[in-house]
Every structure is written in structure tokens, then in C-alpha cells.
Structure 1
Amino acid sequence: MTDAERDLRRLLPSGDPSAVADLLPTGRLVSPGEDEEGLAPVLWLSDGPAPFGLWEELHREHPRSGLWPLLLAPLRAGEEEFRPWGTGELSTVSASEPDWYDPAALLRTGWEYSTLVDSDGESLDPQESSELGRSVAPFLGGWPGTAPAAGSVGDPDGAARALARELCAGDAGLRIGLVAAATGAEALTACGWCGPVNHEDDIAKVSAVLLDWERRYGTRLVQAGFAELELSVPAPPEDAGSALRIAAEHFAFCPDNVFQGAGTLTEYAAGLVGAERWSFWWD
């Protein structure tokens, strides 16, 4: 048994790591909070950059291995510590489970919180309300509800592999991670990712929304960073109207995409039409 297979059996005792062990470069297991002893590993992390094409091979073997591959990015390019992955800045202590939650209710709550209070939890003053109104128009009347599911999701796995190739070609510093999870959405909870902690400290709620998007739009989580996510989208909206409803969901999920990005839902929605990639970033 190779060192890689031995490590992967610790990560997922009931899986078949032999399906991918021989594909892997050198790497190591990571546990939440590396300064603490006795915590089970939640992630296998490559020591160096992800070889081009490896994500796709690992993704094809996922049904056998039970290990979801992630392209992992550090907080800062070139940093030796490779935070948060290499430093174990992960937490599974307080995580609930994604299937505890209704994604539509989570999105409604996210919308209401982001449109009724400021970052400190205080009610918006008149000037802030006016600025917010310009940002979330034309939904000034309140949460518009979740958008309809795509009529067809095409080839979700093919779209995910295409995005992985694009991301690896554009960033030579990405590493490979493996998590014992059925989907990329669930991998975030399983490994204890803490990216949106200033917006949401229960990552299972984030996973619940991502799982819903997997079902409705065929999205797949391909890359995760310190506080960023990259999703493949095989069935992007084809017109401004449908894109606007999805933009409202994105705002409810990650308001920084609008507040610190496009500025308004209308402008943000324009960027979603035909886009085969969704990116999220939390301050």
C-alpha cells in the first residue's frame, strides 16, 4: 500500500482510494486546527501545484473513490503557508448538516438581512436605505422568491471539467485537495471551510444553497479559496429577465458580490447572461 493510499484510507475508511491513489503527486492530510492533537483529518492536500488535467481524472473517479476533488487557492499568491488549507484554518466543531435547511428559506433570510440592516446589525438610516434601493431595484418590494429551475442542465460534469482546465491554465499556483464528500457543495461542510465567516458562520447553510443550485442549474463547485468559490454553470440564464432573478439569489447568498462589485443587481445580472462560471467572494 502506498503512502497516498494509506492517507486516503484515513480520510475515507469505507471508500476505495486505490481508484485515485496512484494518480496523486506528493501530499499530506490536514486536520482542523493543526495546533490541536487528535482531530481526524478532513482534507488531503497536494504539496505542490495541481498537475494540469488531474482534477478531471479525479472527478471521473469520484463515484468509485468517494473523494471530491477541489482546486484550492491560497489567501495570497505565492505564500508559503498556503492559508487556510496548509495551516488547517478549518473548523467542523459547530457545523450542522446541509439537509437540515430549506434553501429557499435561507435565501429569503439572507435577502432580508442584507436589505434591512447594516453590517453591524443596526437598522439602515434613510441615506443607507436610499443607496440600497438603487442597488436592489427592481425588487424594492422585497424578496422576489427563488428563480425557476433550468429547463435542461446539459452536461454538468463536462462543464465542471472545462472550468477546471480553464482555472488551472490561468493560475499555476492552485493545488489539489480531496474531501470525503458526495458533491462539491457538501465538501465545504465536510472539510470545515470558514470562508464566509463574516457573513455566515454555519457553513452547512452555504452548502445547502449550493446543493440546491446543483439540482436546479447543474452547477458544480470546482475551486475554493480563503473566502472565494468558483462554480461551473452548464445552463446559464439566456436573457436579462431570468438572470435578474438569479442575481437576487446571488445577492442573498453573497451580498459582497453586488455591494463591493457590480453595484446594482441590474448590472450584476447582465454579467450572468450566458456566463458558464459563477464566482463568489466574501469580505
Structure 2
Amino acid sequence: MTEARELRSLVGSVDLPPGTLVDRTVLGGWHEPLLWRADAPAGPDGWERMLPVRDATGLWPVLLGRHGRGTSVEDDLLPESGPGDGTGGGLDAGDVLARWWEGHAAREPDGAAALRPFGGRWPGLAPSAGTVGDPDGAAVGVARSLVAHGTLLDPRVALVPVRRSADVPVAIGWTGTLASGEGAAPFGAVLRSWEERFGTRVVALEPDVLHLSVAAPPRTVREALAVAAEHFAFCPAVVRQGPGSLARYAEKWLLGSGHWSFWWD
């Protein structure tokens, strides 16, 4: 694993645009830099341009967006155990999602209808997609779209000392999931599982939104329903504030979609 103490030297070993090593958190300064962030706004190819740097250094790129109120991702960092530690604490993604499903389903006012065909019963993890194709290519496409369409406000490209993309939010102490009342590690466990089963990449973080690219999205309604159940457990707002039911979410938002986004409020 790339250690955070190496970040300064790794950043200095490659040709990068002007940038800043971020070592501040909501509780004050951190003992080592958590990430490097470019000073200038990212263009549509900002994430893609960092792939050679990743290959040379092991530092993973991510786009950081700003909130409409002016808050940036790096204004609210709160790492739990230190940079580079985004492993999910040895937690099992299936166990995590089953526990979350049970809690969210119990609070669903019309659970039998909204959660059809599963109701209150956790259906288990969706099957792996098998071959995940080209995760980097999928990430390049989502990153370009997020910037070109103005989805991200004032985006900056950042580099994070982690072994894999799924570990980025936990490693830097991203606080977007705080409203869930859960610690960061369970979310890291699920992100790792999605990376392995569907070829996801953490492409961008806003203060309260997580954007993933998906190399192997569900291709049938049945596959999409299984993934929709995981999304509801992970972030019920995508169903409750979106289409209102798992079935509509699966068909309208997930089927063939290479971009998953989540928010907690």
C-alpha cells in the first residue's frame, strides 16, 4: 500500500500542474498530507490526464467538486484512522448491506410496494458481472461528462495515496456520508465489493455526493433489481427522493447505466 508519508516525494517525482498538499481536517492539521489537489479547475480530460501519473506513482485520481454554498470537499475532511487506510476494516459487504436493508426497510412507509419484489426481505448480494471490461475507460467517460456538463461546481483533480479507487473516500476522511449516522469503514467495504463485481471507480466527490463509474452495469431488469436493492441499502435517498420504488429505479436509473451517484442528507 502506498503510505501517505510518501505522498510528498511521489508528487515531486512526476510532472504535475501547480497544486497543493492538503493536510488540514475539521479538527485541525493532520500529521501527513491526505491528498494533492490541483490549483486550477479541471477540464473534461482532467481525470484522464492523471492516469499516467497513477501508473507511475500508485496515486489514485479523483475529481473534487464544490458545494453551491461555497464549501469544498477538502474543507470538511475527517479521517478516522489515517490516510491510505480505506480497507473497510475487514467488514463483509453482504453483512453490511443486509443490516442497512433491514433498518431502512423497517422505516419504509409503504415497504411492500416500494421494495417489490423483495419487500422487507434482504435478497442478498447481486451476482458479479464476471468480466468487468475496461474500468478506466468507463471512468474517463463519466469524468468527462461530469465536467463538460457542469455537474461538478469548480472541479479540481486530486491524487490520493491508496492502493485502489474504492479506498479514496475513507482514506481522505470524506464526510459526505455523515448524515447516515454510520462510520466510514462500512461504506468502504461496499465500495470495494462493487469495484470487484462491477468494475466501479470513485470518479468524483462533492461535499455530499459520491459519483462512481461502472464498467459492467446491469443489462437485464432482473440484474438491475438485484443491484437496486444494494443501492437502497447503501443510500435509500436514491430511491426515496428519486423514482420512489426499486422497480422504477432499476429500470430508469440503473439498466445499462455506467454512472452511479449517491447522496446523504
TM-score by length of 1: 0.83
What's the counterpart of residue 70 of structure 1?
62
Code of the aligned partner of 1:264: S
Deviations 1:111-154 (A, max 9, x none): 011112x4xxxxx7xxx2xx222211111150000010003211
Q: Deviations over 1:242-282 (max 9, x none)?
A: 10000000001111111111110000001211111111111
Classify the secondary structure of the residue corresponding to 2:158: strand
Alpha-carbon shift at residue 83 of structure 1 (Å): 2.2
| Counterpart residue number, 2:121 | 142
Aligned residue type for 1:242: E
How is 1:10-49 mapped onto 2 (pairs within 5 angstroms)?
12-13=6-7, 16-18=10-12, 20=14, 22-24=15-17, 26-33=18-25, 36-37=28-29, 39-49=31-41
Residue from 105, 128, 138 that aligns with 1:115: 105
- String of CA shifts for 1:187-245, please: whole Å, max 9, x gaps: 11110011011114311211110110010011111011111111111111111111000
The residue aligned with 2:226 is 245
Q: What is the distance in 2 between the residues matched to 1:66 and 1:11? A: 13
Q: How does 1:116-195 map to 2 (within 5 A)?
A: 116=106, 118=107, 128=109, 131-171=110-150, 173-195=154-176
SS at match of 1:105: helix
State the Cα deviation string for residues 33-70 of structure 1 (Å, max 9, x = none).
26624532212222231134231121233132121111
How far does the alpha carbon of each residue in 1:9-36 deviate from its partner, in whole angstroms, 9 at most, with x for none? 975359633454x232x22122242662
Matched letter for residue 57 of structure 1: R
SS in 2 for 1:207: helix
The separation in 2 between residues aligned to 1:94 and 1:14, in whole angstroms, is 19
Following superposition, the deviation at residue 102 of structure 1 comes to 0.4
Report the aligned-residue RMSD.
2.3
What letter matches 1:84 in structure 2?
V
Deviation at 1:180, TM superposition (A): 0.8
Q: Is the 8 A contact 2:63 2:205 kept in 1?
A: yes
Identity %: 39
Letter in 1 for 2:176: G
Q: Gapped runs of 5+ residues in structure 2?
A: none
Instruction: Rate the CA distance shift 1:10–1:210 in 2: closer, same or farther, 3 A.
Output: closer
Counterpart in the other structure of 2:238: 257
One-letter amino acid of the structure 2 residue matched with residue 259 of structure 1? R
In 2, the alpha carbon distance for the partners of 1:141 and 1:13 equals 46
Do structure 1's residue 266 and structure 2's residue 247 form an aligned pair?
Answer: yes
**In 2, distance between residues paired with 1:12 and 1:94?**
17
- The normalised TM-score by structure 2 is 0.88
Higher RCO (C-alpha under 8 Å, 6+ residues apart): 2
Looking at structure 2, the residues matched to 93 and 234 of structure 1 have their Cα atoms a distance apart, in angstroms, of 29
Q: Is 1:275 aligned to residue 223 of structure 2?
A: no
Which residue identity does 1:71 align to in structure 2?
Answer: L
Larger Rg: 1
In the alignment, is the contact (CA less than 8 A) between 2:7 and 2:161 conserved in 1? no
The 1:148–1:113 alpha-carbon spacing in structure 2 relative to 1, beyond 3 Å, is: same
Q: Is the 8 A contact 1:11 1:43 kept in 2?
A: no
Change in Cα spacing, 1:49 to 1:226, as seen in structure 2 (3 Å) is same
- Select the residue among 59, 68, 72 that pairs with 1:83: 72
Where does 1:204-243 land on structure 2 (aligned, <5 Å)? 204-243=185-224
- After superposing on structure 2, the runs of 4+ consecutive aligned residues of structure 1 that deviate more than 4 Å are 94-97
Q: What number of residue pairs does the alignment pair up? A: 257
CA distance in 1 between counterparts of 2:158 and 2:188 reads 17
